[in-house]
Amino acid sequence: MRRRRRPPTTHAAVVQADAGPNGSAETGNAVTRDDSRGDDKNISESGNEPRTLPPRARDGVYAAVTRLLAVLLLPAAFLRWPGRARELACGWALSMRFPAEDLTGLNDSARAAFTAARTEALWRHSQLIGLTSGYRDPIVQQRMFDEEVRRSGSVASARMFVAPPAESNHVKGIALDVRPHEGARWLEVHGARYDLYRIYDNEWWHFEYHPEHGGTPPRRLPHPGAGLVSQNGDQA
């Protein structure tokens, strides 16, 4: 059975309980992934698209507590920044829920779009969207790619899961890996308003900022290496 890639999750102790069905982990912008396969019941017949994961009870508790925290922080946020108090309070609350996330290095427009999107998600729909990986240093991306080449046995196979630095939109600062699954689903439905789009069938957590699409979702690719195939006509 073909090995399937798992989404990264944050290692911080306060959020460790939120690790999904993947078994992988991330600290800061460096991502590690293990080879555990997870349950087949969460994978579609195509082998790429995870079925909708049932929401966990604790996710609802986390969302409710985080939103309550944002409400409590709203007066202080209003004093600090009256015109954008809801955004600021949301950011403070989410930083407590996802303390290891790091938005540093993201493209300014991508960061603004992501901030606006998850502010709406929290206040209007009580959905949390945390960032597990945004900008990556080219050295980190190269290390990830080299590790995947060793695991999979070839450059072509590795490109199905990890892009080399020259092709990675994480290195460009416009790619965002998000969690939890319900937050990613919200972003998939509403993200086009912010020029944020899910890109790959095999990565429910991966979104990219593409204002050039003008609110129309691009055709989704089966995996990260598919873009190179479509451009060059064959797999490098």
DSSP conformation class of 130:
E
Q: What is the pLDDT of residues 106-164, one digit of tens each?
A: 999 999 999 999 999 999 999 999 999 999 999 999 999 999 999 999 999 999 999 99
* 228 band by pLDDT with thresholds 50, 70 and 90: low
Whole-number average pLDDT of the chain: 81
As a whole number, mean pLDDT of residues 32-55 equals 40
* 37 band by pLDDT with thresholds 50, 70 and 90: very low
Among 4-18, 46-60, 178-192, the minimum mean pLDDT is found in 4-18
> What are residue 209's DSSP bridge partners?
196
pLDDT at 5 over 70: no
Tokens representing 55?
Answer: 């929401």
> What's the pTM value of the predicted model, to 2 decimals?
0.76
